[in-house]
Structure 1
Amino acid sequence: MNERPLVLVTVGTDHHRFDRLIAWVDAWAAGAGDRVRCVVQHGSSRAPEHAEARDFLDHAELLELMERAAVVVTHAGASTIGEARRLGRLPVIVPRDPTLEEIVDGHQIDFLRRIADKGLVVACASEEDLHGRLDALLDDPRRYLLAEGDSGAAQAAAVRRTGTLIDTLMAVASGPSDAPEPEAAEAGEWPEVTVVIATRDRPELLRTAIDAVLAQDYPGEIHCLVVHDQAEPDHGLALEKDRRRVSVTVNGRTPGLAGARNTGILAATGTLVAFCDDDDRWLPGKLTAQVTALRATPGAVLACCGIRVLYGETTVDRTLDRRTVAFADLLRSRLTELHPSTFVLRRDALVDGFGLVSEEVPGSYGEDYEFLLRAARHGVIVNVPDVHVEVLWHQRSYFAQRWRTIADALDWLLERFPEFRLVPAGRARITGQIAFAEAASGRRRAALRWAARTARANWREPRAYLAVAVALRLVGADRIVRFLHRRGRGI
C-alpha cells in the first residue's frame, strides 16, 4: 500500500445531487491534510475544495482506484458496494435521503439496513460518525481491508442481487422512466466510432449498409469493421478515405451473429462501438444524434433511436417517445423500437462492464434483448426518439424446429433474469411467447400449459389466446406472424 492511505469517495452518476456527503468528506480531508490522499468522484454534486475532484470515473479507472484504496466511501448503490467487496474493501456507506431530495425514494436506506445488519458494510448516519470512521483509518490503514476469503464473489453478488431487486421493485412501482432531456454534447473531439457489421452471403445488401455508414454526417472518424461469419471474406471492401475506413475480418469465435459481433467488438479501435445488420441502412444524421445524446448524459452506456420497418410493400415507423430507458422498462416490455442496428455503445462499459453479446443463448434467439437487459442493469440507456435506421424484415416461414429453439431461448431468459417475477405483465409477455412457439411447433399440451400460466399472470395478455388458437388449429402461426409484420410488429 502507498505511504499515504488513499480514500476513494464515489457517488455515481445519478442526476440528484449528494452535496451533503461531499461536504462531510471535504471537511475531513481539510483536517487530514497531507496524511492522506482523498479522491472524490462527485458526479452532478458540488466539487470538493480540499480533496481531488473527479466528476466522472470510467469503470476501469474506478476499479483501479478501488484496488489501491484503503477505504471506499460511497452511497448505498448495490453495484459499487459489490465491486468494493469483491476487491477486498469493506465499504463505508452514507445513504441518500429522499427528504433532502438526494434521491426519489427511501430504498437506499432500506437496502443499507439489510446489508449493514449482516456486517457487509459500515453504515454512517451523521457527519461526526463518518469523521470518526475515517479518523480510525489514520491510526490503522488496514482497518477497512477485508480478511482473506471474506470478499468472495458470492457475497459481492448477493449484495448486487439484493440491491438490484430493491431498485427494480421501486422502479416498477413508479412507472416508466421520465428522465430530463439531454442537453448539448460535451466539449471536445468527436470520438472514433467502430461500426461492426456481421455478414454472411449477402454481398449486395452489405454494400448498401456500408455505403450508408460511410455517408454519415458525423464529424469524427468512422471505422467500419465487416466481420464475415462462416463465409469467405471479401477483402475488396477495404478502403480508407478522409476520416472513413473499411476493414475486413472473419468471425473467430462461436459461429453465428453473437460470435461475429463479439469478434468485431474485441477488434474495435474506437472508444464507441456501433452495430449495423448487413440488411439494414442508417439514415445520414443517425450517428451524430446518438453520440450527442451519449455525451450529454452522465452514466449512459448505450444509445438507441427509432426505426423504419420495411416489410414487403409495407413501411412502418417505430419510435419510442422517451429519452431514457431503465431496466424496469425493459422488464415490462421488449421495446422493439430498440433495434440492434441502432445500438451505439461505450466500448469500456461493454468490455469491462456488462459484458459481450451472449454466445450462450439457445439458437441465438433474443440475444439482443438479453444484451439490452444487462446494459440497463449496468447504466443508463439513452434514446433518440426519431427515425434514423431503416430495418428490412424478410418474408419467411419458421419451421417447427426453429419454433422449438425460440421456446427454449425464452425459457432460458426467464431463468437468467429472476427479476421478471416482480413484473407479472412482463413475465406473462414472455410466457405467452413461449406458449405461441410451442403451439407453432405442434406441441399442443405444452402450449396449453404455458397459455394457462400466462393467463393466470395477466389475463389481458393476447399471446395466451393466440397460442390456444394455433394449438387448436383454428389459425396458422405463419399467418399471424405475417399479419403482425405488416404492422411493423412481431409476436
Structure 2
Amino acid sequence: MVLVAVGTDHHAFTRLIDWADGYALDRPDVRVLVQHGASAAPSAAEGTAYFEPGGLGAAMGRAAAVVTHGGPATIAEAREAGHLPVAVARDPELHEHVDDHQLCFVSRLDEAGLVRSCSSYQQFRTTLDKALAQPRDFRLPAPSGAGTATAAHRAGRLIDLLIGTREARPDRPLPRAREDAHWPEITAVVPTRDRPDLLRRTLEHIRAQDYPGTVRTLVVFDGTDPDRSLERDDGRRPVRVLANTAAPGLAGARNTGILAAETELVAFCDDDDLWLPGKLRAQAAVLCAEPATELVCCGIRIAYDGATSDRVLQRSTVDFADLLRSRLTELHPSTFLLRRSALLDGCGSVDEEIPGGYGEDYELLLRLARRAPIRNVGEPLVRVLWHRRSYFGGRWQTIATALRWLLTAYPEFRLVPRGYARVAGQIAFAEAAAGRRGAALEWCTAALRARWTEPRAYLAAAVACGLPAAAVLRALHRRGRGI
C-alpha cells in the first residue's frame, strides 16, 4: 500500500490528490490510500478525510511507502514509523498555502537526505516505483520512541534548527547551593597514557577540590601498565588505578571508568588538565537542584606557550541546535559532570567506533543534548593545557576521516548552514595540512557554498597553497582559539 497524507491544513492540496489518482490509474495493482483533509476526495485512489487518533501512525506502519505534504509533524511521524518520506511541498503560488515555508523546509530536508522531495508528477511516479521496488532504500532504523507526541517533538526540533531561535529563548539562571545541601559522592574518571608528570599534577588538583562530599578518582591506563603507586585510600579522596578493558583509546578508557564507577555522578578529567578549587561544588549544586539535568559544564582557562586566555560561555543553557551551530570549545570534556544513568540507561556510553576516536567528546555532547539541555557554569573552573604532546597533534588524516563520519552520523548538520560550513572547513583544513590539496579545495568549496563567510575555508585554502599549517595553529592557539 502507498499512503498519501496531506495533513489538516484548510487549504486544498488538489495537485497532490491528482498525482495520487494518476498513480492509482497507472499502477492498478498497487493500493493507494489518501488522507485528503480539506481537499476533495480522490476519484481513483481510496480516500479518507481524517484518521481517528492513532490511525495515521497505524496506517504508516502498514504502508510500503509514505507520501507526505511538507508539514513538519507529518514528516516527523512518517520517519518515526520507519519511512524515508516522499515529500511534496505545498506551493503558495498555487494557493496551496499562505507562504513558502514548506518549500524551504522540504528543500533543506531533501539536501540533508531526510526526505525524498518531488516537484512533478513524473518525479513522483518514478520515486514511488523505486520505493516499491527497492524498499530498503526507503526504510529507516527502528526509532527509540513512537507516537504523535514524539513525532511532533522531533518536528519542533527540526524547525528550531531551521529558524534558529536562540535569541528568542530566555536563559534559565543556575540554582544556588543550599546551606543544608547534601553533597553526593562523585567519581572522577582520568584516562592516561605516557604522561606521568602531568598526571600527578592533575590528581593533586582533584584532591584539592573544596567539594564537601567524597570524590573518588579512577585512573584508567590506556595501552600502558598501571602505576599502582598512585593508589591511595585517604577517606574522602581515594584513588584507584585500572587498566583499560574496552577498546584502545580515549573513548574506551572513559567507558572503562564509567563502568567501574559506583556513584551516580561522574566527572571527566584529562591527564593534562587541572580542576580549579570550586569546580565540583558549583556543578553539583545544579545537578542536586535539577533532577532532569544530566550534564553540567563550565568555562575553561586555556594555557598555551606561556600565555593563558579564558573561554567562558555567557549563557547557562545549551541545547542540540546550539551544538550543531558551534562546537562551543568552552564545553571541554574535562569540564563534564554528568549522571552515569544518562549514559548507561539513556543515550549509551562514549562511542568507541568513531574513526581514531577523534571528537568523541563532541559526539557525546550532541547525544546528551538531544535528550535534555546542557547546563553551564559561566566561570573558568578548569585549566586546559594545549601543547604539542596532544594525542591528535598532526594526525590530520584521522581528523578528516572522523569529521566526515560525524556529518554522516548527524544529517541535521545539513539543516544548519553555519554548523555544516564549520565542519566542512575543518575537514578542508585537515586535508590541506595532510597534503591532499584536491580534497582540501573540494571541502573548501562545500564550506563556502553553505556559508561564504566561513573563515576555516579560507585558512584551508591558504594552507593548500603553501602556508604552513603549524604556523596557523600557533597563531590561533596564542589567542585561545583553534580550528
Q: Which has the larger radius of gyration?
A: 2
Determine helix, strand or coil for the equivalent of 1:216.
coil
Partner Cα separation in structure 2 for residue 197 and residue 397 of structure 1: 15
Instruction: Look up the match of 1:244.
Output: 237
Query: Separation in 2 of the partners of 1:397 and 1:206?
Result: 14
Decide which of 290, 298, 307 is 2:283's aligned counterpart: 290
- Measured against aligned partners, the alpha-carbon deviations of 1:224-246 in whole angstroms (never above 9, x if no partner) come to 11111111111111112232211
* TM-score of the pair, normalised by structure 1: 0.67
Question: Which residue number in structure 2 is paired with residue 490 of structure 1?
Answer: 482
Instruction: Name the CA shift for 1:401/1:344 in 2 (closer, same or farther; >3 Å).
Output: closer
Aligned to 1:111, which of 53, 73, 88?
73
Q: Does the 8 Å contact 1:169/1:422 carry over to 2?
A: no
CA deviations on 1:404-445 (whole Å, 9 max, x unpaired) are 111110000000111111100110000011111111111111
Q: Equivalents in 1 of 2:251, 2:207: separation in Å?
A: 24
Residues 227 and 248 in structure 1, CA contact (< 8 A), matched pair in contact too: yes
Q: Find the residue that maps to 2:182 and give its secondary structure.
A: coil
- Pair 1:230–1:403, CA change in 2 (3 A): same
Q: Name which of 371, 390, 397 aligns with 1:378.
A: 371
Match of 1:196 in 2: 189
Provide the residue aligned with 2:311 in structure 1. Answer: 318
Q: Deviations over 1:50-94 (max 9, x none)?
A: xxxxxxxxxxxxxxxxxxxxxxxxxx9xxxxx9xx9xxxxxxxxx
Unaligned runs of 5+ in 2: 1-53, 59-70, 83-139
Instruction: Verify: 1:366 aligned to 2:356, yes or no.
Output: no
Q: Is the 8 A contact 1:294 1:303 kept in 2?
A: yes
C-alpha distance 459-357 of structure 1, shift in aligned 2 (>3 A)? same
Question: What TM-score, normalized to structure 2?
Answer: 0.68
Contact 1:312/1:395 (CA < 8 Å) preserved in 2?
Answer: no
Q: Secondary structure at the match of 1:360?
A: coil
Change (3 A) 1:165 1:254: farther
Aligned partners of 1:252 and 1:260 also within 8 Å? yes
Cα distance between partner residues in 2 of 1:272 and 1:399: 28
What is the CA distance between 1:158 and its match in structure 2? 7.4
Cα distance in 2 for residues equivalent to 1:421 and 1:270: 38
Structure 1 residues 56-71: aligned runs within 5 Å: none
Residue 164 of structure 2 corresponds to 173
Q: Distance in 2 between matches of 1:118 and 1:428?
A: 28
Rate the CA distance shift 1:118–1:409 in 2: closer, same or farther, 3 A. Answer: closer
After superposition, what is the alpha-carbon deviation per residue over 1:27-49, rounded to whole angstroms, capped at 9, x for unaligned? xxxxxxxxxxxxxxxxxxxxxxx
Instruction: Report deviation, 1:458.
Output: 0.2
Taking a change above 3 Å as real, the CA distance of residues 392 and 268 of structure 1, as seen in their structure-2 partners, is same
- State the alpha-carbon separation in 1 of the partners of residues 414 and 364 from structure 2: 19
Once the 2 structures are TM-superposed, how far is the Cα of residue 156 of structure 1 from its aligned partner?
4.4
- Pair 1:326–1:208, CA change in 2 (3 A): same
Q: How far does the alpha carbon of each residue in 1:243-265 deviate from its partner, in whole angstroms, 9 at most, with x for none?
A: 22111110001111110010000
Q: Which letter does structure 1 place at the counterpart of 2:398?
A: T
Q: 1:42: which partner in 2?
A: none
The 1:396/1:241 distance shift into structure 2, 3 A limit, reads closer
How far off its partner does 1:396 sit? 5.8
Paired residue for 1:6? none
Measured against aligned partners, the alpha-carbon deviations of 1:139-184 in whole angstroms (never above 9, x if no partner) come to: xxxxxxxxxxxxx972546766774353142255312554310223
| Equivalent AA in structure 2 for residue 476 of structure 1 | P
Q: Kindly provide the CA deviation profile for residues 272-314 of structure 1, in whole angstroms up to 9, marking residues without a partner as x.
A: 0000011111111100001112223342110100111010111
Q: Within 1, Cα distance between the matches of 2:339 and 2:272?
A: 24
Aligned to 1:154: 142
Query: Is the CA contact (8 Å cut-off) linking 2:351 and 2:360 kept in structure 1?
Result: yes
Give unmatched runs, 5+ long, in structure 1. 1-75, 77-81, 86-108, 121-151
CA contact under 8 A between 1:311 and 1:395: conserved in structure 2? no
Q: Which residue of 2 aligns with 1:463?
A: 456
CA RMSD across the alignment: 2.9
Corresponding residue of 1:22: none
Query: Taking structure 1 as reference, are residues 112 and 244 closer, same or farther at Cα in structure 2, changes over 3 Å only?
Result: farther
Deviations 1:332-364 (A, max 9, x none): 000001111000001111211111111111111
Q: Is the 8 A contact 2:358 2:392 kept in 1?
A: no
Letter in 2 for 1:330: L
Is the partner of 1:154 in helix, strand or coil?
A: coil
User: Does residue 209 in structure 1 map to residue 202 in structure 2?
Assistant: yes
| C-alpha distance 306-190 of structure 1, shift in aligned 2 (>3 A) | same
Does the CA-based 8 Å contact 2:73-2:151 persist in structure 1? Answer: no
Shift in Å, 1:403 = 0.8
Three-state SS of the structure 1 residue aligned to 2:233 is: strand
**Residues 125-144 of structure 1 mapped to structure 2, 5 A cutoff:** none
Flag the 1:252–1:111 CA change in 2: closer, same or farther, 3 A. Answer: same
Corresponding letter in the other structure for 1:111? A
Q: Secondary structure at the match of 1:218?
A: coil
Q: Closer, same or farther in 2 for the Cα pair 1:400/1:182, shift >3 Å? A: closer
The structural deviation recorded for 1:468 is: 1.0
Contact 2:190/2:218 (CA < 8 Å) preserved in 1?
yes
- Picking from 463, 471, 481, the partner of 1:479 is 471
CA shift, 1:217, in A, is 0.9
| C-alpha separation in 2, matches of 1:222 and 1:353 | 24
